[in-house]
Structure formats: structure tokens, C-alpha cells
Structure 1
Amino acid sequence: MLHDHHHEPHWKHDGVRVIKGDQLDPNTAQTPGMFRQAAINQARVGAQRIWAGTVAIDPNAKTGVHHHGALESVIYVVSGKARLRWGERLEFVAEAGPGDFIYVPPYVPHQEINADPAQVLQCVLVRSDNEAVVVNIDTIDPVEPPEEVYWVDPTHSAPEK
């Protein structure tokens, strides 16, 4: 039986990729109080329909109310205590701890909160696309108003006062 080794070089460089934890890319949208690093994206590995990375959220940090358009997001809590509020008036709330997964469906208005006043919240984040879609919603008053940190960067506008 003859083996076709024609594809070996292609797969060697374009196949499975391992991104070491100490080689994550901080060249991504940053928000005061939150530190994001990309592991998997188009620029790093050629990913077409997925983005994955980490986020570290300072104690008590809270985002403004927003949604991510048609994107789906999955958050895995590594350490700390996450609180999410969601709904038309942020009337729903859930908390997650280490080992828990959070699913955020498309277009759901929500607020992300580090519920621990003393510990950084460490998470792994996966999005269903490479584009950073964030739509700030200024018409909903957050149940837990952002006190220290607003979600503001080149893709997030400051909330109106």
C-alpha cells in the first residue's frame, strides 16, 4: 500500500496548534478593570468562526449593560465568583464559581460582575466569531450600577450620564 505524504507539510504547519498559557496575546480590546488575552483567533491561528481567550476581572468590577449581537459566548470560571444579570430590566441573576460554565445567547441584554470584593475573577471566554461585537444599552438602568469600572474601549462607548 502506497501512502500519500503529499499533505504532511501542509498539516504540519496548518493542523493542530497548541498555544501555551504564557504565550497569550494581550493585543485585544481592553477595558479598565478587565484584562483580556487572545489564545485562538484569526491573527494567531487562522480561526474563521471562533475566538477563545482569557479574561481577568478585578474585584467588584462591573460592566455596563450590553449584548453581543448575533454572537454566542461561553464563559468558564477558573477562579473567583461571577455574577451575571440579564433580561429586559436585568431582572434575572445567576452566580457561577470555579468549574462552572456560563452560556450567553445572542442579543441577550446582560451585565457581567465580579461578585467578590477581594479576589480577581479568572475566566476562559469563547465566542462564536472573531469579530468583537458589543452593543451598549443605555436605556436600561443596571440593578448594580458600575461603580469603579465602565466597559469602555475602542469598541465600547462610555455610558451616558
Structure 2
Amino acid sequence: MAIPTPSAPPTSPPEDGWRMTGVRVVPKGSLDSATAQTPGMSRAAAINFDRVGAQHIWAGTVTIDANAKTSAHHHGHLESVIYVLKGRARLRWGERLEFIAEAGPGDFIFVPPYVPHQEINALEDETLECILMRSDGEAVAVNLPDLEVAEKPEGVRWVDPTHKWLPEV
């Protein structure tokens, strides 16, 4: 069955009345691991164009081996959201990866377009498990092999303007 690719809101329901072209549930055992992979990391797609017809998002899982990390890179025009399920994520970012922050289970991480960054499993003996979402189904990863990395990154604790009252963690 072809998945519709509407460019404008439908004026009437599709022929199937949304039965197969409406909501989709992707069972946990059916994620697609035929995605771009990085040594020490395992990604699996749940929601993308090929699987469900998603026009503007990609969502899936990423597992990072204990003590593993990516190289410096960015994702072009894409926005990324990472939700930590298990373990401890460490992110470095900036023109020299000069900033650093960590996130644990229940924390969300937002990576804006074009920001040079590096994902790191902060734990030496535990796998990091996350949900990953991107603002487009396109797989964009621009590696930055010539990036000169700062020796001592500055820790950053971001607090949004509406929650300045939150205590230090």
C-alpha cells in the first residue's frame, strides 16, 4: 500500500478512512537498524518516511557502548532532541568543543542546527540508552575531523528563562 505524501491538508479523508494511513504503532521489536551507524553506537529507526510516511521528523533509538564517544560533527539544518532512558550522557559542543554538560535518565537534550558537538557515554561500565528525534527524515551528519578540541571544557548548566528558580543539581 502506497503511503500518501500530502503537500497540503486533505480536503476529505483518504479512501481507507484513515484506517491504514492514519495512526501507526511501531512495536519495539520492529525497529529498523539499517540506518547510518557509528562505531560504539547502534541506531534503529522507528519513525521515518520509508516506514510510516513521516514528512518532517525522524525518531528512533540510539545505544552507546560503555565509555564510547562520537567524533566531532554537526547535523546541518536539522534540530535534534535526545531523551535519556538509561545511563549518563555527556555532550561537548562549540567551535572547539569547549563546553560540556551531562544528562541522566529522564533528561532531554536539544541540539540546534549546525552546532559542532560530540556525544559521549560518561559511564565506563554501563550502556547509554536514548530516544533520538530529528526535525527531518534526512540523515545529515557532517564530520569535523580537523576541529581543534579544547583541553579543558567549561561546564554549562542551562536553565530556561521560565525556570530560573530551579536549584542547582
Flag whether TM exceeds 0.5 (same fold): yes
**TM-fit CA distance, 1:141:** 3.0
Residue of structure 2 aligned with 1:65, choices 72, 79, 88: 72
Aligned equivalent of 1:125: 132
- Measured in 1, the distance between the counterparts of 2:65 and 2:95 equals 26
- Measured in 2, the distance between the counterparts of 1:129 and 1:32 equals 23
- Measured in 1, the distance between the counterparts of 2:38 and 2:13 equals 46
RMSD between superposed Cα atoms in Å: 1.7
* Correspondences of 1:5-154 after superposition (within 5 Å): 7=14, 9-143=16-150
Superposed CA deviations along residues 102-157 of structure 1, whole A, max 9, x for unmatched, are 0000000001100000000000000001111111112213458xxxxxxxxxxxxx
Greater shift in the superposed pair: 73-82 or 134-143: 134-143
Superposed CA deviations along residues 31-53 of structure 1, whole A, max 9, x for unmatched, are 22111100000110011110000
- Measured in 2, the distance between the counterparts of 1:51 and 1:88 equals 26
Give the TM-score normalised by the residue count of structure 2. 0.79
**TM-fit CA distance, 1:27:** 1.2
Residue identity over aligned pairs, in percent, reads 66
**Conserved in 2, the CA contact under 8 Å of 1:75 and 1:124?**
yes
Judging changes above 3 Å, is the alpha-carbon distance between structure 1 residues 74 and 6 closer, same or farther for their aligned structure 2 residues? closer
- Measured in 2, the distance between the counterparts of 1:6 and 1:103 equals 35
Q: Which structure ranks higher in relative contact order (CA pairs < 8 Å, sequence separation ≥ 6)?
A: 1
**Conserved in 2, the CA contact under 8 Å of 1:89 and 1:140?**
yes
**TM-fit CA distance, 1:16:** 0.4
User: Runs of 4+ in structure 1 displaced over 4 angstroms?
Assistant: 5-8
- Measured in 1, the distance between the counterparts of 2:13 and 2:76 equals 42
**TM-fit CA distance, 1:7:** 4.7
Give the TM-score normalised by the residue count of structure 1. 0.82
Structure 1 unaligned residues grouped into runs of 5+: 145-161
**Conserved in 2, the CA contact under 8 Å of 1:64 and 1:142?**
no
Letter in 2 for 1:66: H
Structure 2 unaligned residues grouped into runs of 5+: 1-11, 152-169
